[in-house]
Chains A and B, each alone.
Chain A
Amino acid sequence: MAGKKPGREVESVEPGEEPRLFHIGVSPHIRGKHTTTSIMRWVIAALLPLTAYGVYIGGTDALVVVLMSVVGAVATEAVIQKLRHLPVSIGDLSAVVTGLLLALTLPPGLPFWMPLLGGVVAIALGKQVFGGLGHNIFNPALVGRAVLFISWSEYMTTSWLVNPQAAAVQTSAIKSINAVTSATPLATMGNVRDGELALEASRYCGSLLFGNPWGCIGEVSALLILAGLVVLLIKGLVYWGIPVGYVGTVVALSWVLGMDPLFAALSGGLLLGACFMATDYVTNPMTARGKLVFAVGCGIITVVLRFYSNLPEGVMFAILVMNGFTPLIDRYITPRPYGHKGLVKKV
């Protein structure tokens, strides 16, 4: 044969004699470039500016919270997988994302063991108990936060006040609003239910948008949260319907109930939750319509909790509750396959 490569025995015409020269395997033979790790890397990249700014505002206290939370999450993942004789998969960065998300929902100035414990709980109870990545029902970061919130709620809502650095940045805002006694603007709303006060608070939405000194590390700037979301949307990693549906529902319902919609949108960790918690792959539905139902459900529960309960904020519990509904949504909201009439619901 002309042009035969030396060293390759491909000369025989008879079947069954040749060395196996090529690899076989089922199509498709090329694959997209995204991997779990690359997706997690993008999520971390999207969260990084926000985290950096949060640390800048919160100082070393915030840094300690972030580091401890991430270390707790990653170490727990590794230890549990070692104990269960599974391959250690911390390289996929999903534990880092969980730790980081948890930290962003915590106030700076917590004692160092608390975020550490939060990270441990998030991975151990929130994820590994269910069998690891992809099997958990509830958002691990929020599981971690919920445990901390329930066990040490006074820390969770007031500790930022003891941080002198953060307090200095906050002074101007605090001076203008006579709500120093309560922890976050939302606590004001929930406890006092004073429309006027809330409206006054809305004047400070500007500061909420460009640098909000209130509350948690990840709530310092709505603008940076949105910037992170835009990154994920451009990379096609999250479905726009979740943040839009969630925030949209909250805004609409708040407006109907007579609260300032902008204030409702910008406070109480809603943006962080809608952009980064509700969009967690594992714990929201698989189809676009399912995701919309999920988002609207989150929005309704959030508003209900905000207006009619003593919880100062509803985002965390709203998302956790809807996480619980996700299997049900996935069971009943399925796409209509090509060539079929109507919905095929049996799953």
Chain B
Amino acid sequence: MGWVRNLQRELFTKGGVHPPSNKIAATVKIFPGPYPETVIIPLSQHIGAPCEPLVEIHDRVLIGQKIGDSEAYVSAPVHSSVSGEVTGIIGYHHPTGTEVRSVQILSDGMNEVHPSVEPPGDPMEMTPQQIRKHIREGGIVGLGGATFPTHVKLAPPEGKQIELVIINGAECEPYLTGDHRMMVERGEDIIVGARVIERAVGAERIVVAIERNKPDAITLMRELGAEHGFEVAVLPARYPMGSEKTLIKGITGKEVPSGGLPMDVGVVVDNVGTAAAIYDLFYEGMPLVDRVLTVAGDGVAGHANLRIKVGTLVRDVIDFCGGLVGEPGKAILGGPMMGLAQYTTSVPVIKGTSGIVVLRGETVWHREPAHFVCIRCGRCVRHCPMNLMPYLMGSYSDAGMWEELGPLNIDDCVECGCCAYTCPTKNPLVQLIKVGKEGLARQQRKMEELAEEWEEA
């Protein structure tokens, strides 16, 4: 395939910023997280339809037992991460800021594993359909944070040929080191998982993408690559290098068409964590019940990479790491560039939680202008990896001029935050863009309704 760029050369993409990486936990081994007394497992941890509970209050559940599922195609079941008693099916805080139906389980500390947890047989003997079915049953979603159900991602529609699997170990968000540690500690498992992905989509080539600032992971993966026949792409250490579209452009030189998917250019991108979860599913039989995440930031006493059971409350994890220090500012699930700030730490860790970053007040408080103020410095335009015009989107959104936002391709914005990061007047550009996207969608709906009425009349 000639269309992958020469991976020995420096890969180039436009835009991006260099926030201080603060990857303090990069040398800390992955450690099992706290053993929670109670877990709260949301029935919606993915993009797509929420699950219906399969258990009732006072039921006894075991590790790996399916406790929620949905009929919908774009959805993924959830499994219990502990053994114990279901004490409630309640609405509970969810990292996205909404209240979501969740299964509350009081652990009995016995760690009993459900009999269904058994390797389903050699995936290399299975058909792609069978692999996808098992991946769906295992509740696997994209662990980089997007939480798109993996079985959907691995199902290219008729006539779309997938040639390349990119295993994303870029981990460009500051503070986060979980993927880095995974590659160092579980390199072989990741590759085995990647082979399963390769088989499921019928690709012929695997490239593991790693940012330059992880030399130990690069060396290790290169050695493994020589052995197992895959390649390593070394990326510049620049945020948002690990963003799917930027990554694809960097490695293949191709751009995912606006509104399209990586499949449209023959690529599938999966996070290293997802590949490892696929390994666990096929070779240990364990569905997705825990994940590796990084605890970091100047607002928490200890930095660590922990293997956390899904449903563990964030505050238990923080306490496990020595508790909070300093004046609390923000508790962020994910990284500081794209993560979600929580107003309480009583939220559960879900499948997509790649990190818990607690930052002190002085680190996260910025003097944002009350109204959009632009000195036309052009920094947002220069740093936008999607080549958009953030200053215009910001000012039109601030003025409520939604109809101007469509021609600016606001829907192509990946909300990476480079523009807001670099803006000297501290305009909350991502916030304005989010508001603008909603405003534009609302207006388009209204126009369609009007058009319908017009036709009817």
Q: Interface of A with B (CB < 8 Å)?
A: 1-5, 8, 10, 12-13, 15, 18, 20-32, 34-36, 38-39, 94, 133-134, 239, 281-283, 285-288, 291, 334-340, 344, 346-347
Contacts and interface: CB of A to CB of B under 8 A. Distances in A.
Given A10-B346, A18-B346, A30-B336, A281 B323 contact: no
Nearest to A291: B378
Contact of A340 (B322, B340, B382, B409): B409
A15 B421 contact: no
Nearest to B409: A337
A344 B388 CA distance: 10
Contacts of B336: 27-30
Contact of B389 (A30, A239, A286, A340): A286
A29 B407 contact: no
B381 A335 contact: yes
A8 B249 CA distance: 47
18 contacts: A5-B323, A10-B344, A15-B99, A21-B328, A22-B344, A24-B343, A27-B415, A27-B417, A29-B336, A29-B359, A134-B374, A134-B376, A239-B382, A286-B389, A287-B378, A335-B388, A338-B387, A340-B409
A347 B407 contact: yes
Interface string B73-96: 000000000000000001111000
Contact of A338 (B255, B313, B425): B255
Contacts of B315: 1, 10
Nearest to B358: A22
Interface string B337-366: 111111111100000000001010101111
A134 B424 CA distance: 12
Interface in B33-72: 38, 40
B440 to A, nearest CB: 14
Contacts of A281: 375-378
A13 B258 contact: no
B328 A30 contact: no
B19 A30 contact: yes
Given A3-B319, A340-B409, A30 B174 contact: yes
A30 B359 contact: yes
B245 interface: yes
A13 B343 CA distance: 15
A29 B319 contact: no
Contacts of A287: 378, 381
B430 A27 contact: yes
B407 A35 contact: no
Which 3 A-B pairs have CB atoms at the shortest separation, nearest pair first? A28-B417, A3-B319, A26-B431
Nearest to A3: B319
B255 A339 contact: yes
A341 to B, nearest CB: 8
Contacts, number: 194
A8 B318 CA distance: 13
A125 to B, nearest CB: 19
Interface string B311-339: 00101100110111000111110001111
Given A13-B38, A29-B330, A281-B377, 10 more contacts: A4-B319, A25-B364, A31-B420, A36-B424, A39-B377, A39-B424, A338-B412, A339-B257, A340-B409, A347-B407
A10 to B, nearest CB: 5
Given A27-B338, A336-B387, A36 B381 contact: no
B330 A24 contact: yes
A170 B425 CA distance: 45
A230 to B, nearest CB: 19
Given A24-B342, A35-B424, A339-B412, A286 B373 contact: no
A300 to B, nearest CB: 22
Contacts of B113: none
Contacts of B363: 30
B375 A344 contact: no
Contacts of B174: 30
Given A1-B316, A335-B387, A12 B346 contact: yes
A285 B376 CA distance: 8
A38 B245 contact: no
Contact of A2 (B319, B331, B417): B319
A337 B340 contact: no
Given A28-B417, A29-B339, A347 B375 contact: no
Contact of B330 (A10, A12, A25, A338): A25
B408 interface: yes
B329 A23 contact: yes
A282 B255 CA distance: 32
Interface string B297-322: 00000000000000001011001101
B345 A28 contact: no
A334 B428 CA distance: 22
B121 interface: no
A34 B339 contact: no
Given A23-B364, A31-B366, A335-B388, A36 B375 contact: yes
B256 interface: yes
Contacts of B377: 39, 281
B391 interface: yes
A2 B315 CA distance: 10
A134 B374 CA distance: 6
Nearest to B245: A338
B168 interface: no
Nearest to A239: B378
B422 interface: yes
A34 B425 CA distance: 8
B70 to A, nearest CB: 23
Interface string B369-407: 000011111110110011111011000000000000001
Residue from the set B320, B331, B344, B382 with the largest chain A CB neighbour count within 10 Å:
B344
Given A22-B329, A28-B420, A344-B407, A337 B412 contact: yes
Given A34-B424, A281-B378, A336-B387, A27 B341 contact: yes
